[in-house]
Structure 1
Amino acid sequence: MTSSFSSARDLADAVVHSARRVGETTPAVRGADWRTATVTDVGAGTVTADGIVCRCLETYALPTVGDLAVITQSSSGNWLAVGRTADGTAVGWVTPTLGTGYTQGNTSSAGNNNGPIRYRRVPWLGTWWMEWDGGANRANGAQNANILNAALASQFRPVARASMVIARNATSITGVANSTSVVHSLKIDFDSDGTVSLVSATAGDVETNWFSLKGIRYPLS
């Protein structure tokens, strides 16, 4: 009796353990699940992570080998790559020191009340972007080579020049009839060497006195 009972109990334990193993490895039994995995290969709309080929969500548009990604499996066995986990390199708003002749828009009399110039590095659709906000005043004759007192750090620089049109104080041109507010914009270059340069800061009879960077955004890669 003891031997039979022991054999029956061992058999029952073996069945339970076997069923557990099957359940752990069979999606239809286990149900949906997710985990993190390192990307080792990037395909056309897919990634391979820990040997598993996963279809990428649209928001995971630019995966990179080495990403620690969140992957998930449906109960039918299909795998999806949801996106990469945060790597701690996102940067909140930074308010830089401006170059000589430039004044931050901290008051209604500076920067057309756009607030101080500031920037941040943000992820969007799988790549890093630079975003600017605020405005400043410019003294007549102030240098245009870099509105900042120092070049931006490498992590904030585009790989190629990003040229934008920005708002500035409106300017009338002498000799042109009904010329009020004829000039109200100028070009600014965000260069790969970290400088931020106003282009044509003088126009007509009046130089640029205030300008705004609010809403400027460009990719860093």
Structure 2
Amino acid sequence: MTSSQASFQAVAAALRQQTAQVGATTPAVRGSDWYRAVVDTVGTDGTVTTTDGVVALRDEAYQAPAVGDIIRVTVSSAGAAVALGRYAGATAPNGGWTSIPLLTGFTTPRAIFGPAEYRIITIAGSDRVELRGSVSCTTAVTTQTAFSPALDAAAWPPYARTWAVRRQTSADTKGVTAVEVSTAGVLQIHGLVSPNTTAWFALDGSYYDL
């Protein structure tokens, strides 16, 4: 092989390598793709800029963005980037159902309605506590009464929250009453004087935001 042939082959190899590198990093060549990125800045126009300089429009589900978020970015073949949302961190809610601790005078479940439980999940970037199941009152409740000790500190809201739940005062009498959670994570049920005392209540469909 002559020196000119060797030089030609070296140049050709270099061009092939350069072409491969450009194709791997150019959306128009490689097509659409996604990758993991870290947020460097948060824009006021619905975008975030990653540490590698990509400006991505936030997806509707990616709420409350913050610098340092580890996110999933998808890039179209035309180069348009969308931030799909953050990955769960080590301290993120795991969404597992946990039994609600009950005070003396309350038991669970009520008949067929399932045990009283709660979980912490993330909805659109915000943490939420969901509840389900049912609670029986050993003695009918006539006033606002705590039925649980404090939940885990992660479930304590910044303000007291209240919502309506189904209750039953007798076998054939059904109604609605209020459940409240304090800023210390204590759950309370409301009751009235006879004959509207609360004998049991359901928590299905209940939730409050943190």
TM-score normalised per structure 2: 0.87
Opposite residue 8 of structure 2, the aligned amino acid is A
Match of 1:218 in 2: 208
Superposition deviation, residue 141 in structure 1: 6.3
Give the equivalent residue in structure 2 for 1:22: 22
Cα distance change on mapping 1:45 and 1:204 into 2, 3 Å = farther
**8 Å contact kept, 1:140–1:207:** no
Aligned to 1:102: 106
| Counterpart pick for 2:86 among 71, 84, 87 | 84
Backbone CA RMSD of aligned residues? 2.3
**Match in the other structure for 2:46:** 45
1:207 corresponds in structure 2 to 197
Q: Once the two structures are superposed, what CA deviation does each residue of 1:93-131 show, in whole Å capped at 9, x if it has no partner?
A: 1012210100111xxxxx253211000111222222111
Deviation at 1:81, TM superposition (A): 0.5
Q: Which runs of no fewer than 5 residues in structure 1 stay unpaired?
A: 106-110, 172-179
Task: Out of 128-137 and 25-34, give the one that drifted further.
Answer: 25-34
- Segments of 5+ residues of structure 2 without an aligned counterpart are none
Query: Which residue in the other structure is 1:175 paired with?
Result: none
1:4 aligned counterpart, secondary structure: helix
Counterpart contact for 1:119–1:130, Cα < 8 Å: yes
Conserved? CA contact 1:145–1:195, under 8 Å:
no
Q: Which residue of 2 aligns with 1:129?
A: 128
Deviation per CA, 1:125-183: give whole Å up to 9, x if none: 222211100111112266855311x3112211222221101111146xxxxxxxx84x7
Kept after mapping to 2: 8 A contact 1:112/1:210: no
Q: Which amino acid aligns with 2:125?
A: G
CA distance in 2, matches of 1:204, 1:64: 52
Identical aligned residues as a percent: 33
How far, CA to CA, are the matches of 1:163 and 1:79 in structure 2? 41
Counterparts of 1:186 and 1:135 in 2: how far apart (Å)?
A: 13
Q: In the alignment, which residue of structure 1 is the partner of 2:182?
A: 191
Matching of residue 60 in structure 1 with residue 62 in structure 2: yes
**Contact 2:169/2:197 (8 A) holds in 1:** no
Secondary structure in 2 matching 1:113: coil
Q: Once superposed, which parts of structure 1, at least 4 consecutive aligned residues long, lie more than 3 Å away?
A: 141-145
Amino acid at match of 1:68: I
Q: Secondary structure at the match of 1:209?
A: strand
TM-score, normalised to structure 1's length? 0.83
Match runs of 1:31-42 below 5 Å = 31-42=31-42
